[in-house]
Amino acid sequence: MKYISTRGLAPKLNFEEALLAGLATDGGLYVPETWPTLDIETIADFKGKPYTYVAERVLSQFIGDSVEPQVLHDIIVKAYSSFKGPEVAPLVHMQGNHHLLELFHGPTLAFKDVAMQLLALLMDHALVRLGRRATIVGATSGDTGGAAIEAFRGSKATDIFILYPKGRVSDVQRKQMTTPDEANVHTIAIDGNFDDCQALVKGMFNHTEFREGVGLAGVNSINWARVMAQTVYYFTAAVALGGPERPIAFSVPTGNFGDIFAGYVAKSMGLPTAQLMIATNVNDILARLLDTGTYAIGEVVATSSPSMDIQVSSNFERLLFEITGRDGAKVRNYMEQLKDKKSFTLSADELTEMRQLFSARRVDQEHTAEIIRRENDRCSMVLDPHTAVGLGAAETLELGDTPIVTLATAHPAKFPVAVEAACGIYPEPPAHIAAMLDRPERSEDLPNDLTLVEDHIWARIAASKG
């Protein structure tokens, strides 16, 4: 399997190379050269099988001979042994045809663990095989940073640096990043917002001397391996609810478009899918796009679902590549317009295709709180605000008795203040998180200045080499 860039100007890579590169050298994102497909019998065979069995069969389609089958098997088993139970992503029936797919049973209580636990082991394996070290740098609005640090702490082949916006993440989120005491973990609080952090990381990737000097690698959701890992639970959920004989609908709380793009990939691989619902909070760039055909960047508004407080959905570029008929020049043109005028408009055909593939709904703060309150009253189930946005959007679908699966992307204890404000219940964290809350924190405060951040990273790497 080869990987090509959405902007058409970067070299083709194999899986391992795309994994380590993250972003392509032309600024694009890597996608498989062709979508692998699974026939209906293969998908039907997933029914009743363990999560790791399905993962092995789906992921090997994308990895090809880049990782030996036995090694891949061992990596998958190890990655998902850090989850609470062997189900990894259990389904819970709500009401009528509504179900929740709980993706928050990993070590940091958000769905980011599903991909990050696997990504870290794949990267370590590749680096050791190549006799290389890498410096991982990532920006986080809260959940990615903790999941990445948890996955890479203690790794012998990497140093990991996470930039987060100072004062803008929840206490639990911050402590997940600042309490691990392994020498390869470095947390940086930037005096700025998430977009500033992301711009600093982009700046480092675009600075060739720095990128090559430190062996920069990325773990943000632009990394193909993360999207790939997320396709698996679309298959396990669908077969548990009568797929592939019947189509299933999914509602996905969306920020950077990574998770829902994984649903599109599952569909492209042959999974019968009724609807893919893009659920957004008031940062609704994608819902506006489906309404009007124009992708226009607005102001980021802080909400109770902070992991979706994003205006530029990086992974949307992968879908843009598909709906333009995989035309790298068109994608480059749209991205230029976005940079220059903060917007672009899809052609009529592209918009029609987009609307055939997806629906989108925006769920505001009040409605989100109301859903948390209602479900607690109805069945004593406490939802996190991201999941509540997903359920609110799912409830607008009219699909008869087709099962609708809302992806439950975080544990409520990760956002206890917002949850308590909505329903009066303060969700208690599981024991391993509670134990972490009293541990000493380690973090460096830095201004929003690329040179200073790069200098800090150079110094830390030199120190850790002894």
The minimum distance between CB 208 and ligand PLP, in angstroms, equals 28
Binding mask 170-209 for ligand PLP (x = CB under 6 A): ----------------------------------------
For residue 359, the cross-strand partners are 277
Residue 91 in contact with residue 240, Cβ under 8 Å? yes
What one-character DSSP code corresponds to residue 410? B
One symbol per residue from 68 to 107: x for binding ligand PLP (CB under 6 A), - otherwise; what is it? Answer: ----------------------------------------
CA dihedral 447, 450, 455, 461 (to 10 degrees): 100
- The pair of structure tokens assigned to 240 is 């548990």
Alpha-helical regions (H) of 156-241:
171-178, 194-206, 208-214, 224-240
Considering the complex, state which of residue 122 and residue 252 has its C-beta at the smaller distance from ligand PLP. 252
Among 251, 307, 324, 376, contact with ligand PLP (rule: CB under 6 A): 307
Instruction: Write down the catalytic residue from 84, 112, 156, 166.
Output: 112
Q: What is the Cα–Cα distance from 176 to 171, expressed in whole angstroms?
A: 9
Residue 15: CB minimum distance to ligand PLP, A? 21
Report the residue number, 327 or 364, with the smaller CB distance to ligand PLP. Answer: 364
Nearer to ligand PLP, 112 or 174 (CB): 112
* 65: DSSP letter: G
Among 143, 159, 309, 350, binds ligand PLP (CB under 6 A): 143
Binding mask 385-414 for ligand PLP (x = CB under 6 A): -x----------------------xx----
Q: Are 133 and 158 in contact (CB under 8 A)?
A: yes
The token pair that represents 96 in the structure block: 């009528």
Is residue 175 annotated as a catalytic residue, yes or no?
Answer: no
Note whether 112 and 144 are within 8 A (CB): yes
Using CB under 6 A, pick the residue from 110, 219, 225, 461 that binds ligand PLP.
110
The one-character DSSP state at 215 is T
Q: Is 309 in the site for ligand PLP (CB under 6 A)?
A: no
Q: Are 419 and 427 in contact (CB under 8 A)?
A: yes
* Cβ atoms of 39 and 86 closer than 8 Å: no
Decide whether 88 or 214 has the Cβ nearer to ligand PLP: 88
Tokens for 73?
């098997």
Identify which of residues 187 and 307 has a Cβ nearer to ligand PLP in the complex.
307
**What Å distances lie between residue 195 and 92, 135, 313, 354, CA to CA?**
35, 21, 11, 26
Q: C-beta of 308: minimal distance to ligand PLP in Å?
A: 5
Tell me: does residue 112 bind ligand PLP (CB under 6 A): yes
Q: Which residue, 184 or 281, is less far from ligand PLP as judged by CB? A: 281
Taking the complex as a whole, the smallest distance from the CB of residue 48 to ligand PLP amounts, in Å, to 28
Contact pick of 121, 229, 308, 382 for ligand PLP (by CB under 6 A) = 308
Site string for ligand PLP, 225-264 (x = CB under 6 A): ----------------------------xxxxxxx-----
Residue closer to ligand PLP (CB basis): 66 or 254: 254
Cβ(164)–Cβ(190) below 8 Å: yes
How far is the C-alpha of 79 from the C-alpha of 73, rounded, in Å? 10
Least distance from ligand PLP to the Cβ atom of residue 104, Å: 8
Least Å distance, CB 227 to ligand PLP, is 8
How far apart are CB 187 and ligand PLP at their closest, in Å? 17
Cα gap 344→294, rounded to integer Å: 6
Return the structure tokens found at 103.
């993706």
320 binds ligand PLP (CB under 6 A): no
Within 10 angstroms of residue 270's Cβ, the number of other Cβ atoms is 17
Minimum CB distance to ligand PLP smaller for 117 or for 256: 256
Q: Determine the 3-state secondary structure of 338 from DSSP.
A: helix
Cβ neighbours around 361 below 10 Å, total: 21
As a three-state string, the secondary structure of 434-452 is: HHHCCCCCCCEEEECCHHH
Rounded to 10 degrees, the C-alpha dihedral 8/11/14/15 comes to -60
User: If binding means CB under 6 A, how many residues of this protein chain bind ligand PLP?
Assistant: 16
Q: Out of 52, 60, 176, 221, which residue is the one contacting ligand PLP (CB under 6 A)?
A: 221
Active site residue ranges: 112
Q: Which residues bind ligand PLP (CB under 6 A)?
A: 110, 112, 143, 221, 253-259, 307-308, 386, 409-410
